[in-house]
Amino acid sequence: MYFVNWQRDISVEERNGRRVVVKRNKATKDFHEFIITYTYSLISFLLAHPSSPTAPSEIMANEGHLMRENLARLGVPTPELIAISDQYLIEEYVEGGDLYRAFVSSGSSELASGAGALTGKMHRAGYAFVDNKAQNYLVKEKSVVRTDLGFTKSSCSEFAKSMDVGSFLASAMDLKSYSEIENRFYKGYIAETGHGFSHLAIVIRNLLSLGFSSDSTIMFQNMILDSRPVLEI
Ligand SMILES: Nc1ncnc2c1ncn2[C@@H]1O[C@H](COP(=O)(O)OP(=O)(O)OP(=O)(O)O)[C@@H](O)[C@H]1O
Ligand SMILES: [Mg+2]
């Protein structure tokens, strides 16, 4: 199996009789990271919440053992890291695939509450994932674990937290089950944090949806739904 991705080439391989995922950096990774960090700063500035992005030097380190141990302490599971270098990363293959595909193939939005709970645990501890798409959650034994940790911030701003909520919701905006996904994500999130989403998260969701969504008709239908029930009061 082989996934072609924006930043890395991702392949499923057999190593020592075990299935693993190998993520090899593309030659253009630095350029892509520059675009992402530049866009992050620009959006934060335009939305009057100037925030500094994750420094490029931190991105690879964030994928390493130390970050995974920190996240495990917060109750945020990640795939087992097998090897890491400047050029590639090898981690445990997680059988269930990513959460976006699970939403599409199972038609069930149940696991969105797990993603909301993990996001809430992060925010309670002052952490944020920043790039919190449903594609960055993997389905393992009927729950979710978190991969793609590069942009994680350990001292996070209101903007970074809103980015987490906004990017998760934006990644599901082209699905017919969006409303149910939003509701379950919210329930998981509020159970950990005791509060709902900021208005800023919904603004970010709408901005990112324009880039993420593969079906603009469904996306615009979802964009005009009433979001008040999930906002903090
Ligand atoms: N450990 C894993 N087990 C199974 N599938 C995985 C695993 N890690 C990644 N994948 C699959 O590969 C996809 C891309 O992985 P990842 O997000 O780590 O790469 P990326 O290059 O950072 O991608 P992007 O820039 O698009 O976010 C995931 O959405 C998932 O479908
Ligand atoms: Mg990813």
Under 8 Å between Cβ of 179 and 225:
yes
Q: Which of 25, 147, 212 to mutate to test the pocket of ligand 1 (most atoms within 8 A of CB)?
A: 147
Nearby residues of 120 by Cβ (< 8 Å), 6 or more positions away: 188, 189, 190, 191, 192, 193
Q: What is the CATH number of domain 2-227?
A: 1.10.510.10
pLDDT tens-digit profile of 84-143?
998 999 999 999 999 999 999 998 999 999 999 999 999 999 999 999 999 999 999 999
User: Please, what are the averages of pLDDT over each run of 10 residues along the chain (233 residues)?
Assistant: 67 95 86 84 92 86 96 98 95 97 94 98 97 97 96 92 97 97 98 97 95 93 95 81
* R_g of the chain computed on alpha carbons: 17
CA of 226 to the centre of ligand 1 (A): 32
Left (φ > 0), alpha (ψ -120 to 50) or beta: where does 98 sit? beta
Confidence (pLDDT) at 5: 66
Q: Whose CA is nearest to atom 30 of ligand 1?
A: 98
Q: Whose CA is nearest to atom 31 of ligand 1?
A: 98
DSSP 34-89: HHHHHHHHHHHHHTT-------HHHHHHTTSHHHHHHHHHTT---PPEEEE-SSEE
Confidence (pLDDT) at 6: 64
DSSP conformation class of 188: H
CA of 232 to the centre of ligand 1 (A): 31
d(CA 54, CA 155): 10
Confidence (pLDDT) at 196: 97
d(CA 199, CA 209): 15
Helix axes 158-171, 178-193, angle to 10 degrees: 150
* Nearest of 84, 55, 80 to residue 69 by alpha carbon: 80
Take residue 123 and report the two structure tokens written for it: 């925010």
Local structure of 190: helix, strand or coil:
helix
Under 8 Å between Cβ of 80 and 16:
no
95 CA closest ligand 1 atom index: 4
CA distances from 169 to 16, 133, 138, 193 (A): 38, 8, 16, 17
93 CA closest ligand 1 atom index: 3
Helix axes 199-212, 216-223, angle to 10 degrees: 170
Nearby residues of 111 by Cβ (< 8 Å), 6 or more positions away: 99, 102, 103, 137, 139, 142, 143, 144
Domain range list for the chain: 2-227
CA of 233 to the centre of ligand 2 (A): 32
| Amino acid in position 179 | S
CA of 63 to the centre of ligand 1 (A): 12
Take residue 63 and report the two structure tokens written for it: 């994928």
135 CA closest ligand 1 atom index: 29
Q: Which of 2, 14, 21 to mutate to test the pocket of ligand 1 (most atoms within 8 A of CB)?
A: 21
CA of 186 to the centre of ligand 1 (A): 24
